[in-house]
Structure 1
Amino acid sequence: MAWLHPSRAALAATVERVLEAGWPIHGASDHGVSEALYLSDPDGLGVEIYADRPRERWPRRADGRGVEMVTLPLDIDDLLAQAPLEPAPELPAAIALGHVHLKVSDVARAAAFYRDALGFAEQARLPGAAFLSAGGYHHHIGLNSWQSRGAGPPPARAPGLARIVFELAHASALAQLEDMLATATGGRVPAERAPGRVCVEDPDGNRLAFLARPRV
Structure 2
Amino acid sequence: MKTYKIPDSTRIGHVHLKVADLDRALSFYQGLLGFEITQRYGDQAVFISAGGYHHHIGLNTWYSKNGPPAPQNSPGLFHTAILYEERRQLAVILKRLLDAGYPLTGASDHGVSEALYLDDPDGNGVELYWDRPQDTWPVDRNGNLIMKTDRLDLEELLALAKQ
Q: TM-score, normalised by structure 1?
A: 0.54
Aligned residue among 20, 28, 37 for 1:105: 20
When Rg is computed on C-alpha atoms for both structures, the one with the higher figure is 1
1:1-12 aligned at under 5 Å gives the runs none
Q: Is the 8 A contact 1:119 1:177 kept in 2?
A: no
Aligned residue among 96, 121, 124 for 1:180: 96
* % same residue: 37
Does structure 1 residue 205 correspond to structure 2 residue 123? yes
Letter in 2 for 1:113: F
1:23-172 aligned at under 5 Å gives the runs 91-127=6-42, 128-172=44-88
Secondary structure in 2 matching 1:176: helix
Give the Cα separation in 2 of the matches to 1:194 and 1:90: 30
- 1:128-185: CA deviation from partner (whole Å, max 9, x where unpaired): 01111111101100000010000011122322111121221111000111122233xx
Give the Cα separation in 2 of the matches to 1:122 and 1:112: 12
Match of 1:193 in 2: 107
Give the Cα separation in 1 of the matches to 2:119 and 2:88: 21
Name which structure has the greater RCO, CA cutoff 8 Å, separation 6+. 2
Letter in 2 for 1:204: D
- Which structure 2 residue ranges, 5 or more long, are not aligned? 136-163
Q: Is the 8 A contact 2:104 2:116 kept in 1?
A: no
Give the Cα separation in 1 of the matches to 2:82 and 2:12: 11
- Which structure 1 residue ranges, 5 or more long, are not aligned? 1-88
Letter in 1 for 2:117: C
Q: Is the 8 A contact 2:38 2:47 kept in 1?
A: yes
Secondary structure in 2 matching 1:97: coil
The alignment's C-alpha RMSD in Å is: 1.8
